[in-house]
Amino acid sequence: MEVFYETDRCIVRNWRPGDAERVFDIYRRWEVSKWLGPDPKPMESLEAAERLVQRWGELNTTQPETGRWAVERKDDGVVAGTIILLPLPDGDGEFEVGWHFHPDAWGEGLASESARGAIEWGFAHGLDEILAVVRPGNGASIALCNRLGMTPMGRTTRYYQAELELFRITPVRTDLAVRRSGRPHNEAPTLVFLHGLTDSGSGWPGAVEHWGSDYAIVSFDARGHGESPRFTREQLDAHPGDVMVADAIAVLEQLGEPPVLVGHSLGGAVALTVAVQRPDLVRAIVLEDPAPLGPDEQQQDPVRGKDFLAGVLESIAAGDSLMDLRRGLHPDWADDELLVSGRAEQQMDTDYLDRGEFKPSTPWPELFQELLVPALVVTGDAAEGICVDHEMEDGIAAIGNPNVSVVRLAGAGHCVRREQPDKFYAVVDEWLVRH
């Protein structure tokens, strides 16, 4: 087999004799080789690279269930690095995913893109878990494991005769980019984070820090956001918000014990709709200023869509000035929240935004009327920009569903947890203890 799989920007293929010079240029570098094996050392000669390329190419042919693959960039045909999917030494058959990339390919997201493809390839070929082992000082690879949604399992000395950080991922069958963090999923209750419009599944750094020691955490990039696929024309015509609900249900069906959903804005609308449609999959929901469809609201609003698109295009154009732009817009947010939210805007499906249709199609009065699981709605008291205004709060109260509680926090606007994090987490923590 010549090509094993492809990603948006990469072809993951077998090695060719002509790759040896590039392989030597990768592995001769100490900044690459220092993280590899029990006794790291740079590659010493082109001849060693030629032998390695020949050996890997033969093994990829004779052992197709394992991989030591070349990652070729589609735009220029250059080999950016190596992806491995191999049994761990000294293990009991458990497989690891790994990546060794040339420094000129660092920071482009190619390692995470091709590693995610390797994980999907492994699950499609029957693996029920995949591990990664990382030297404790390798912060970039640890961060990549987190972006891949791998669960940190602590340190181990079992493999490679070294103390290593161990990460684990199990299948969630979806084309969305799923991330796992916090506690191992068989050892703690689960929180599932559903982000808002123009955000991504990476946009919860404060929440992961706050809850990661007590909960297993799952987040994912909604369709049209982050690293998840763009909407097809058919999906856009079928109401994108309803597609997001179906996507979330497909993920939840694979998680086992029902989790608590924590949804912000559009993610809150999705969480609310999921809880109504499939209460068997949800323990409770926390809605941070949710944005469900209003009773008299149009499903599609192109003017509103162009407003969102204008903000996203500003972030895309900002380039290296992204943080300055984000600080100017949100001076009270933490830096890590500014960075992830800005990057998420740069990754948006602009065709989806331009269309101006985002929300699930069921209006909020019907949803709050039919809701069977406990729900906490946390909103702010800003004069403008919040979704749960006093009229909506009065409407929720008039419905009289005993499962629903509404809390309004002083000094907060639409992004409650980013603007008043201490107040937000205090309220939610107290509620989670009871639910």
Q: Which CATH number applies to 181-434: 3.40.50.2300, 3.40.50.1820, 3.20.10.10, 3.20.20.140?
A: 3.40.50.1820
pLDDT of residue 1: 59
What stretches of 347-412 adopt beta strand conformation (E)? Answer: 375-380, 404-409
pLDDT of residue 186: 65
Residue 328: strand, helix, or coil: helix
Instruction: With beta carbons less than 8 A apart as the criterion, state whether 34 and 43 touch.
Output: no
Phi-psi region of 296 (alpha: psi -120 to 50; beta: other; left: phi over 0): alpha
CATH number of 3-169: 3.40.630.30
pLDDT of residue 26: 96
Cα 288 to Cα 413: distance, rounded to the nearest angstrom? 10
If we measure between CA atoms, which residue out of 115, 40, 59 comes closest to residue 84?
Answer: 115
Cα 414 to Cα 382: distance, rounded to the nearest angstrom? 8
pLDDT of residue 188: 86
Cα 232 to Cα 240: distance, rounded to the nearest angstrom? 10
Polymer length of the chain: 435
Q: How many helices (H) and strands (E) does the chain have?
A: 17, 15
DSSP string, 225-284: STTSPPPPHHHHHT-HHHHHHHHHHHHHTTSSS--EEEEETHHHHHHHHHHHH-GGG-SE
| Side chain identity at residue 174, one-letter code | T
Is the full-model pTM beyond 0.85?
no
Buried b (16+ CB within 10 A) or exposed e, 27-44: bbeeebbebeeeeeeebe
Main-chain phi, psi angles of 2, to 5 degrees: -90, -50
Instruction: With beta carbons less than 8 A apart as the criterion, state whether 227 and 175 touch.
Output: no
pLDDT digits (tens, 9 = 90+) for 17-67: 999 999 999 999 999 999 998 888 999 999 999 999 999 999 988 887 789
Q: In sequence order, which residues have a C-beta less than 8 Å from that of residue 235 and are 6 or more positions away?
A: 223, 243
pLDDT of residue 95: 94
pLDDT less than 70: residues of the chain: 1, 184-186
Q: In sequence order, which residues have a C-beta less than 8 Å from that of residue 166 and are 6 or more positions away?
A: 131, 132, 133, 152, 153, 154, 155, 156
pLDDT of residue 126: 79
Q: Give the start-to-end residue ranges of the domains of the chain.
A: 3-169, 181-434
Q: Which residues pair with 130 in a beta bridge?
A: 169
